[in-house]
């Protein structure tokens, strides 16, 4: 079975759904079993944030990889990956609000306003909310394809804010190696999109 046929197989999307749930299941199991280390709260906050960024990178990778390989079946996974990115982002916020702030809303609001790295992370999640809410076919029909595409370009801003959040979080410990890896990946993915858009505009501007 070639790659394109495998991507279009009826079991492919349920398999991806299960794979995306595995990190959540592992974290939940670790929390119940007490195997998350000396600081389980920090492990949950950090791990959910890491998985949000990883899934965001996978979501951004769908279109460039599809164009580079011709595996057009990848397009059917973009929505699922985007929704799981939002899912882990919400878990990240909930873990912070619960374990760091005890769900005291006034304290959370003050902390967001006071600490820039939390502010940009919260802004990224707020930007993801309308993208998740309009990720369904009915929303595309209601908005129209052009408006829907314009709205979902906000994912680029989400990527920038998520990287900045990650950078500021790691800067406190002078740990930039992983930040550089994610920045390179996101830069390459967005660069591939920009290159394709530029080539399209150049081709359209040429006389027939």
121-160: per-residue pLDDT in tens?
999 999 999 999 999 989 989 999 899 999 999 999 999 9
Both structure tokens of 125: 């999640």
Sign of CA dihedral 62, 63, 64, 69: positive
Residue 120 has pLDDT above 60, yes or no: yes
* Nearest residue to 159 (alpha-carbon basis) of 40, 74, 53, 27: 53
Phi, psi of 207 (to 5 degrees): -65, 150
| Integer Cα distance of 117 and 49 in angstroms | 13
Q: Which own/partner contact pairs does 182-191 have at CB distance under 8 Å and 24+ positions apart?
A: 182/53, 182/57, 185/57, 186/57, 186/60, 186/159, 189/57, 189/60, 189/61, 189/64, 190/60, 190/156, 190/159
Give the burial class of 82: count Cβ atoms within 10 A of its Cβ; 0-12 exposed, 13-18 middle, 19 or more buried: buried
Confidence category of residue 1, pLDDT binned at 50, 70, 90 = low
For residue 139, count other CB atoms closer than 10 A to its CB.
13
The pTM (predicted TM-score) of the whole model is: 0.94
| pLDDT confidence tier of residue 75, bands split at 50, 70 and 90 | very high
Confidence of residue 201 (pLDDT cuts 50, 70, 90): confident
Closest CA to 57 of 78, 76, 87: 78
């Amino acid at each position: 079975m070639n790659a394109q046929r495998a991507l279009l197989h009826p079991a492919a999307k349920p398999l991806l759904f299960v794979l995306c749930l595995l990190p959540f299941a592992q974290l939940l199991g670790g929390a119940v079993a007490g195997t998350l280390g000396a600081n389980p709260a920090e492990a949950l906050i950090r791990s959910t944030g890491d998985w949000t960024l990883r899934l965001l990178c996978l979501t951004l990778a769908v279109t460039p990889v599809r164009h580079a390989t011709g595996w057009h079946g990848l397009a059917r996974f973009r929505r699922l990956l985007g929704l799981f990115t939002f899912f882990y982002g919400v878990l990240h916020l909930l873990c912070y609000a619960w374990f760091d702030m005890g769900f005291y809303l006034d304290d959370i609001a003050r902390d967001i306003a006071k600490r820039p790295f939390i502010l940009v992370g919260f802004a990224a999640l707020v930007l993801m909310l309308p993208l998740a809410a309009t990720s369904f076919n009915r929303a595309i029909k209601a908005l129209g394809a052009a408006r829907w595409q314009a709205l979902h370009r906000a994912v680029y801003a989400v990527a920038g804010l998520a990287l900045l959040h990650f950078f500021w979080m790691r800067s406190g410990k002078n740990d930039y190696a992983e930040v550089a890896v994610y920045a390179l990946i996101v830069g390459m993915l967005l660069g591939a999109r920009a290159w394709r858009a530029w080539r399209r505009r150049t081709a359209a501007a040429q006389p027939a």
